[in-house]
Amino acid sequence: MIAILTRPEFIASAISFSVILLLGTLGELLTERAGHLNLGVEGMMLLGGSFGYYAAVQTNSLLITFLAACLGSGLGALMYGFLTVTLRVNQNVTGLALTMFGAGLANSVGSKVAGTTTPEAIRAYFLYQPFHIDHPSNDFLKYINRAFLSHDLFVYSAILLAFILAVFLFRTREGLALRLTGENTAAADASGIKVTRIKYMYIVLGGMLCGLGGLYLPLVQQGSWTDSMTAGQGWLVVALVIFVRWHPIKAIAGSFVFGALSILGYYVQLNPDLSAMPIFNQYIMSMFPFLLTIIVLVIASARKRAWSGPAEIGHSYFREDR
């Protein structure tokens, strides 16, 4: 088992897999920092993935691919924002609706490009590995190279983004305004912060990040579109945000753990001794991330004080409320 966990190939694919979760977590984290729980992550990931992949196949342009992914997921998030911020609809119900709506729309967009693979022109961008060492001089470097340095620019950008968001949240005035909005919207409003603008902005931005995460799956990892291909990863994100306690840097580690668990099954299958054991059955293995999710939620509810998120999550704000 330990042999599997320390294999450089395993670590490398865990990292590559966790990028999807990381971007989703960062996005959902922003949304929740504004005091809104968006359960539609799964839907927004699929929207971003399908719109982006469709654009990639149609245009061969990386820029348009990214823009399309942001457009798809951003529109989903905007809808959520309009319903929950302006119309003050229940956030949970709206998020669930977005998941279903997003999956439906994404699958119908995706069906137009079913059976294609990622165009070579796009694929080429993701073959570039900026930190890859061509001729590692010793075994240690070889290992590091294989595990950590052989990723595309997208992966490193996502990790860099986590650090940028941490600085933004805890060091800038705008970040403080966002945090106050999520902790006490009435206080933010009374302090002269434009709370509606903040909420819309970070709900949509968060949605776009989820969409970019969702894009990585068909565009790079799988290289083709399959219906509802996120297969529950959007739900992992919702738990991950709690697991990392709304902190962008912890999100890097958190999504790595969940990413590793998600692909563990595949690597266990490669080892006949382990895969013969009933507990390492591939179906049981695929449950592991969700088991961890349940454990995380139990810990979170047992240690309410330290694990409670922004206080306004789930509440709608109406200024003239009595």
Partner 1 sequence: MTLPSDQYGALAFSMRGISKSFGSVCANEQIDFMVRQGEIHALLGENGSGKSTLMNVLSGVYRPDCGSLEVFGKQRFFHSPGDAIRCGIGMVYQHFKLAESLTATDNIMAGLSRTQIADAIRSVRQAADSDGHEDKTAAPIRSSGYRKNWKSDLVRRFASRFHVEFDPDKPASQLSVSEKQSVEIIKVLIRGAKILVLDEPTAVLTPQETKRLFGVLRNMRDRGCSVVFISHKLGEIMELCDRVTVLRKGRSVDTLVVSEVDTYDLVERMVGHKVELEIARPDPNPEHEECLRVDSLSYLDEKGVRKLSGVSFSTFYGEILGVAGLAGGGQKELCEVIAGIIRPDGGAIAVDGESITGLSPRSISAKGVSMCFIPEDRLGMGLVASMGMVENVLLKEYAFQKGIFIHSDAARSKSEQIVEELDILTPSISHPVRLLSGGNIQKVILGREIHLKPKLMIAAYAVRGLDIQSSYTIYRLLNEQKARNVSVLYIGEDLDVLMALCDRILVLCQGENMGIVDARNTTKIELGQMMSGTKLEVLRSGVDYVSNR
Compute the least distance from the CB of residue 241 to partner 1, in Å.
16
Of 184-243, binders to partner 1 (CB under 8 A) are 184, 186-194
**Residue 41 touching partner 1 (CB under 8 A):** no
Handedness of CA 118, 213, 82, 191 (dihedral sign): negative
Compute the least distance from the CB of residue 305 to partner 1, in Å.
10
In this complex, which beta carbon is closest to partner 1, that of residue 151 or of residue 199?
A: 199
Which 3 state secondary structure label does DSSP give 200? helix
In this complex, which beta carbon is closest to partner 1, that of residue 188 or of residue 242?
A: 188
102 contacts 42 by C-beta, under 8 angstroms: yes
Residues 6+ apart with CB under 8 A from 27: 41, 44, 205, 206, 207, 208, 209, 210, 211, 213, 237
User: Near partner 1 by CB under 8 A, which window of 50-58, 173-181, 263-271, 278-286?
Assistant: 173-181
Backbone φ and ψ for 316, nearest 5 degrees, come out as: -100, 150
Separation of alpha carbons 266 and 282, rounded Å: 8
Compute the least distance from the CB of residue 262 to partner 1, in Å.
32
Exposed, middle or buried by CB within 10 Å (0-12, 13-18, 19+), for 199? buried
Separation of alpha carbons 65 and 121, rounded Å: 12
The CB density around residue 147, as the number of other CB atoms within 10 Å, is: 19
Among 57, 162, 169, 180, binds partner 1 (CB under 8 A): 180
**Residue 176 touching partner 1 (CB under 8 A):** yes
User: Near partner 1 by CB under 8 A, which window of 61-69, 92-100, 169-177, 212-220?
Assistant: 169-177
Q: How many residues bind partner 1 (CB under 8 A)?
A: 20
**Residue 135 touching partner 1 (CB under 8 A):** no
In this complex, which beta carbon is closest to partner 1, that of residue 150 or of residue 181?
A: 181
37 contacts 95 by C-beta, under 8 angstroms: yes
Q: Which is nearest to 21 in space by CA: 242, 297, 254?
A: 254
Compute the least distance from the CB of residue 180 to partner 1, in Å.
4
Compute the least distance from the CB of residue 165 to partner 1, in Å.
18
Q: Which is nearest to 310 in space by CA: 178, 183, 193, 181?
A: 183
In this complex, which beta carbon is closest to partner 1, that of residue 36 or of residue 179?
A: 179
Separation of alpha carbons 4 and 15, rounded Å: 15
Compute the least distance from the CB of residue 297 to partner 1, in Å.
20
Residues in the chain: 322
Compute the least distance from the CB of residue 220 to partner 1, in Å.
38
Compute the least distance from the CB of residue 188 to partner 1, in Å.
7
156 contacts 173 by C-beta, under 8 angstroms: no
Binding mask 20-39 for partner 1 (x = CB under 8 A): --------------------
Separation of alpha carbons 175 and 180, rounded Å: 9
Among 179, 208, 242, 259, binds partner 1 (CB under 8 A): 179
Q: Which two tokens stand for residue 293?
A: 């999710």
User: Near partner 1 by CB under 8 A, which window of 15-23, 95-103, 183-191, 258-266?
Assistant: 183-191
Of 263-322, binders to partner 1 (CB under 8 A) are 311, 319-320, 322
Among 62, 177, 219, 264, binds partner 1 (CB under 8 A): 177
Separation of alpha carbons 149 and 154, rounded Å: 13
Q: Which residues form the interface with partner 1 (CB under 8 A)?
A: 173, 176-177, 179-180, 183-184, 186-194, 311, 319-320, 322
